[in-house]
Amino acid sequence: MPELPDVEGFRRVLADHATGRRIKGVSVFDRGVLRGVSASRLAQALTGASLGKPWRHGKWLVVPVAGGKPSLILHFGMTGGLFWVTVGNRHRHDRFVLHFDNGDLSYRDMRKLQGLWLAAPDRVLAGTGPDALELPRDDLRGVLGGQKRQIKAALVDQSVLAGLGNLLADEILWRARIHPRQVCAELDNSDFARLHARMGTVLKQSIKDGRVPARKSWLTGRRDEESGSCPRCGTVLKHGRVNGRGTVWCPRCQGENA
């Protein structure tokens, strides 16, 4: 599932290949990914236009369109991605493609749980929490501290904090030595300081890879092993569900129960 680092990678793809270039044409192969816009209106708005500098907020990618037109806004759901293609046939999961002189920008998505909007960012992103990468340390407790819910559930709630998904939340909590079922309101200042520091480290390292890396020194690299062990202490990892999501933690480093 694309999380903040993946979307940052998609932003770089668009910035490197399509920013400032004129769109020659638009192909919509599946209208199921269009949100609040028809295929004809999308093509009319984008054909002949050029794209501005893209920016990311959480798992959202916003692409300004020159000429004061509404922005192209993308969300990649669980299986979406953005790819630059110069040669080759269309992929079977291409849902729409922007055509340029030197190549094509393709939105691919197997499950089509999200898609694209042509709208003002403030309207589409309303209700989304602050970006996890940009949130200052002093603000993290303000966002999470008063909540009487489990920390894992709060971290993956996009209205609370934007950008974190299952893999990132588990990785960050493991590094911060906080149990995923720990109640937010019970965390102290040192917990929040540690949580913010580890969140920054995990996000910055993941962005370099364009994804959450499955390294053996990371929880992510051990979580899918049948008898996966903690990379830090060697204890067999625990698996359970928090707020309906599959969750992995170390019972020694993070405690048996919160």
Q: Which of 112, 194, 245, 252 is catalytic?
A: 245
pLDDT single digits (tens) 218-243: 999 999 988 899 999 999 999 999 98
Annotated active-site residue 90? The verdict is no
Q: What is the pLDDT of residue 52?
A: 96
Put simply, whether the predicted model's pTM sits higher than 0.85 gets the answer yes
User: Letter for the amino acid at 255?
Assistant: G
Domain 137-249 indexed as CATH 1.10.8.50: yes
Q: Is the pLDDT of residue 15 over 90?
A: yes
pLDDT single digits (tens) 28-61: 999 999 999 999 999 999 999 999 999 999 999 9
Q: How far is CA 36 from CA 27, 73, 110, 117, 131, in A?
A: 17, 11, 20, 6, 25
Q: What is the pLDDT of residue 258?
A: 44
Cα 29 to Cα 93: distance, rounded to the nearest angstrom:
9
Burial level of 188, CB count in 10 A (0-12/13-18/19+)? exposed
User: Letter for the amino acid at 42?
Assistant: L
Annotated active-site residue 148? The verdict is no
Q: What is the pLDDT of residue 187?
A: 96
Q: What is the pLDDT of residue 174?
A: 98
Annotated active-site residue 3? The verdict is yes
Q: Where are the domains of the chain?
A: 4-125, 137-249
Q: Quick one: DSSP state of residue 23?
A: P
pLDDT single digits (tens) 83-129: 999 987 789 999 999 999 999 999 999 999 999 999 999 999 999 99
HSE value, Cβ hemisphere, 13 Å, CA-based, for 63: 28
Annotated active-site residue 59? The verdict is yes
- The SS3 of residue 99 is strand
Q: Which of 56, 59, 152, 198 is catalytic?
A: 59
Structure tokens of 235?
């204890």
Q: What is the pLDDT of residue 257?
A: 63
Are 35 and 123 within 8 A, CB to CB? no
- Superfamily for 4-125? MutM-like, N-terminal (3.20.190.10)
Q: Which of 3, 11, 198, 223 is catalytic?
A: 3
pLDDT single digits (tens) 117-176: 999 999 999 999 999 999 999 899 999 998 999 999 999 999 999 999 999 999 999 999
